[in-house]
């Protein structure tokens, strides 16, 4: 081990005085600091190029994280201190663990609702109403704006984009603008809820301000969506698609689980506000309740259908009830299995969050976040910097941007923290690759929703971005 440390130290010498304490060493100008920054940049370029390379976005950041922290560990070990690296890695791991557990439960609930046919029922209801394309354009956007604060912006965008594709057959121009509108609405809707976007969740879990303060961003977020939507609506064809014969059906227990999901969120907010308990604790309690409900629904369905099938088989002179392997599955759809829904979670996304948090945590340990905070918030000021952060988030995704801001933790009032929360949420709409919602819809609506198709309307989305910021200053200044 000492030989390995010596070799790594020779490869990555520290250009800082050994007399300084590890906590105050600035490694931004050292070889190890520059190499670590290069590793992060290369990893993130590979993330951005995922659509063309077909390389899972979690892979480069997972490898980048271990390379960065290995270099940091070797550097501090050569200075005779391994404790600070241990503590800082643990801090980043705790940050990720809280986010991971929260998201895992939320994804499991969403997957369970999807398995119970809740989202299919919503799609079926919309496409069987006989609405005009213009009405559907506004309805899908409105639902996306109000659904994303609960179901998160990516899931919401996927559900509503599938509606646009289903009803827009033969009207490709409608599908294109409808998908752009849905992505913008989902991102804007997620900005005024602590659960609507990963960035707002990180701000809330960090304890910057309580959950109810996000609600003051409702009107600015609404404005940021309404303006580009009104402009794009002029390009929607004046046509009414044929209503589809779709029967909306929510499977056994689906409505109960909707109530449980809302109750889990309420419990989480209450525990955090009243006792300052981590939000992940309340969400994990909700997961336990979902598992219990899973068991109860399966037992009720099986007992009810066992008797029903038994009588039917006797009347028909058929097989005995013992030979019916799963009557519940035959009559009520597939059995609920919470662990299957856990397995269906977006593991690539969850592991991507781990890699990003660890990489940014490593760059913070090297001193880059302190330098960035001084350059941006110290010289440009919080207002200009926070507006700029939204634009940057459209290029490199809002998650690492917000995590970097939270790691810097500049001295700002609540109005400025709300501003950066708003801009990181709605700024991702400026480009198709700027948000998880946009990237997800690009995969679902191939040929309709593209990077350049979205780019054509970036000017209108930019008008909404500016108007949303102006409204925030006007109302919450």
Tell whether 190 and 223 lie within a shared domain: yes
User: What pTM does this model have?
Assistant: 0.76
Tell whether 295 and 375 lie within a shared domain: no
C-alpha 109/C-alpha 341 separation (Å) is 8
**Domain for residue 55, yes or no?**
yes
Last residue within a domain, chosen from 343, 368, 393: 343
Tell whether 274 and 392 lie within a shared domain: no
C-alpha 219/C-alpha 229 separation (Å) is 15
Distance linking the first and last C-alpha atoms of the chain: 56
Tell whether 131 and 84 lie within a shared domain: no
pLDDT value, residue 141: 95
Last residue within a domain, chosen from 293, 320, 343: 343
pLDDT value, residue 329: 43
pLDDT value, residue 399: 78
From residue 340, give the alpha-carbon distance in Å to each of 58, 328, 343, 344, 470: 22, 18, 5, 6, 45
Of 106, 65, 93, 290, nearest in space to 198 by CA? 106
* C-alpha 179, offset from chain centre: 18
C-alpha 141/C-alpha 222 separation (Å) is 11
Give the angle 378-384-386 at the CA atoms, nearest 5°: 90
**Domain for residue 87, yes or no?**
yes
C-alpha 205/C-alpha 278 separation (Å) is 7
User: What is the full DSSP assignment across 23-76?
Assistant: GG---TTSHHHHHHHHHHHHHHHHHHTHHHH---THHHHHHHHHHHHHHHHHHH
Tell whether 273 and 353 lie within a shared domain: no
Do 74 and 9 meet the contact criterion of CB atoms below 8 Å apart?
Answer: yes
Tell whether 254 and 163 lie within a shared domain: yes
**Domain for residue 351, yes or no?**
yes
Q: Per residue of the chain (477 residues), give pLDDT as tens.
A: 444 334 333 334 433 333 333 454 778 888 999 999 999 999 988 887 876 888 888 899 999 999 999 999 999 988 888 788 888 898 889 888 888 888 888 889 888 988 888 888 887 787 777 788 899 999 999 999 998 888 778 878 888 888 888 787 778 889 999 999 999 999 999 999 888 888 888 888 888 888 889 999 999 999 999 999 999 999 998 888 776 666 678 888 889 998 998 899 889 888 887 888 888 899 899 999 999 998 888 888 655 554 443 334 334 444 333 333 443 344 455 577 888 989 988 888 788 889 988 998 888 888 887 887 788 888 888 999 999 999 988 877 777 788 888 888 888 988 999 999 999 999 989 988 788 788 778 767 777 888 888 989 999 999 999 999 999 999 987
C-alpha 393/C-alpha 399 separation (Å) is 8
**Domain for residue 278, yes or no?**
yes
User: Which residues, 6 or more positions from 349, have their beta carbon under 8 angstroms from its beta carbon?
Assistant: 57, 58, 436
**Domain for residue 62, yes or no?**
yes
C-alpha 371/C-alpha 385 separation (Å) is 14
C-alpha 170/C-alpha 302 separation (Å) is 44
**Domain for residue 168, yes or no?**
yes
User: What is the full DSSP assignment across 101-153?
Assistant: HHHHHHHHHHHHHHHTTHHHHHHHHHHTS---HHHHHHHHHHHHHHHHHHH-H
Q: Which two tokens stand for residue 243?
A: 């209503």
- Give the Cβ contact number of residue 295 at 10 Å: 12
pLDDT value, residue 111: 87
Tell whether 472 and 354 lie within a shared domain: yes
Tell whether 74 and 132 lie within a shared domain: no
Tell whether 255 and 404 lie within a shared domain: no
What's the total number of domains in the chain? 2
User: Which residues, 6 or more positions from 60, have their beta carbon under 8 angstroms from its beta carbon?
Assistant: 42, 43, 44, 46, 47, 355
C-alpha 405/C-alpha 369 separation (Å) is 8
Name the residue with tokens 């500049």. 410
How many residues are there in the chain? 477
Do 445 and 175 meet the contact criterion of CB atoms below 8 Å apart?
Answer: yes
Tell whether 216 and 258 lie within a shared domain: yes
Structural domain for 144, as ranges:
98-308+335-343
Tell whether 183 and 293 lie within a shared domain: yes
* C-alpha 128, offset from chain centre: 30
**Domain for residue 24, yes or no?**
no
Do 437 and 232 meet the contact criterion of CB atoms below 8 Å apart?
Answer: no
Tell whether 198 and 284 lie within a shared domain: yes
**Domain for residue 9, yes or no?**
no
Last residue within a domain, chosen from 323, 343, 363: 343
Segments in 276-346 forming alpha helices (H) = 279-316, 327-332, 338-343
């Amino acid at each position: 081990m000492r030989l390995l440390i010596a070799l790594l130290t020779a490869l990555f010498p520290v250009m800082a005085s050994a007399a300084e304490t590890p906590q105050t060493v600035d490694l931004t100008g050292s070889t190890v600091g520059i190499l670590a920054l290069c590793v992060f940049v290369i990893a993130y370029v590979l993330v951005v190029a995922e659509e063309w390379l077909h390389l899972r976005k979690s892979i480069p950041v997972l490898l980048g994280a271990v390379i960065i922290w290995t270099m940091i560990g070797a550097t501090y070990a050569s200075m005779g201190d391994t404790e600070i690296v241990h503590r800082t890695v643990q801090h980043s791991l705790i940050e990720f663990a809280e986010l991971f557990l929260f998201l895992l439960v939320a994804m499991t609930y969403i997957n369970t609702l999807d398995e119970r046919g809740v989202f299919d029922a919503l799609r079926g209801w919309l496409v069987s109403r006989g609405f005009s394309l213009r009405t559907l354009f506004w309805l899908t956007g409105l639902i996306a704006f109000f659904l994303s604060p609960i179901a998160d912006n990516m899931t919401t965008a996927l559900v509503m984009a599938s509606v646009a594709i289903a009803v827009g057959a033969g009207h490709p121009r409608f599908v294109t603008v409808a998908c752009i509108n849905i992505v913008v609405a989902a991102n804007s809707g997620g900005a005024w809820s602590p659960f609507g976007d990963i960035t707002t969740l990180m701000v809330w879990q960090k304890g910057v301000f309580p959950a109810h303060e996000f609600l003051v961003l409702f009107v600015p977020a609404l404005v940021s969506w309404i303006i580009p939507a009104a402009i794009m609506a002029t390009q929607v064809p004046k046509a009414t698609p044929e209503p589809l014969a779709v029967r909306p059906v929510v499977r056994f227990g689906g409505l109960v689980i909707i109530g449980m999901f809302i109750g889990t969120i309420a419990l989480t907010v209450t525990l955090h506000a009243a006792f300052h308990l981590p939000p992940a604790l309340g969400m994990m309690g909700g997961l336990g309740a979902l598992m219990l409900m899973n068991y109860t629904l399966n037992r009720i369905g099986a007992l009810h259908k066992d008797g029903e099938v038994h009588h039917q088989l006797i009347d028909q002179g058929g097989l005995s009830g013992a030979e019916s392997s799963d009557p519940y599955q035959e009559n009520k759809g597939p059995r609920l299995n919470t662990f299957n829904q856990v397995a269906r979670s977006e593991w690539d996304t969850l592991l991507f969050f781990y890699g990003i948090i660890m990489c940014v945590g490593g760059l913070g340990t090297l001193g880059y976040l302190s330098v960035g905070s001084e350059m941006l918030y110290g010289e440009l000021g919080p207002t200009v910097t926070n507006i700029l952060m939204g634009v940057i988030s459209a290029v490199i995704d809002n998650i690492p941007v917000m995590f970097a801001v939270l790691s810097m933790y500049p001295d700002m009032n609540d109005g400025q923290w709300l501003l950066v929360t708003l801009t990181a949420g709605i700024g991702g709409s400026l480009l198709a690759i700027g948000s998880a919602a946009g990237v997800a819809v690009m995969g679902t609506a191939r040929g309709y929703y593209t990077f350049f198709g979205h780019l054509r309307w970036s000017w209108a989305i930019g008008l909404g971005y500016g108007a949303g910021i102006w409204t925030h200053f006007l109302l919450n200044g």
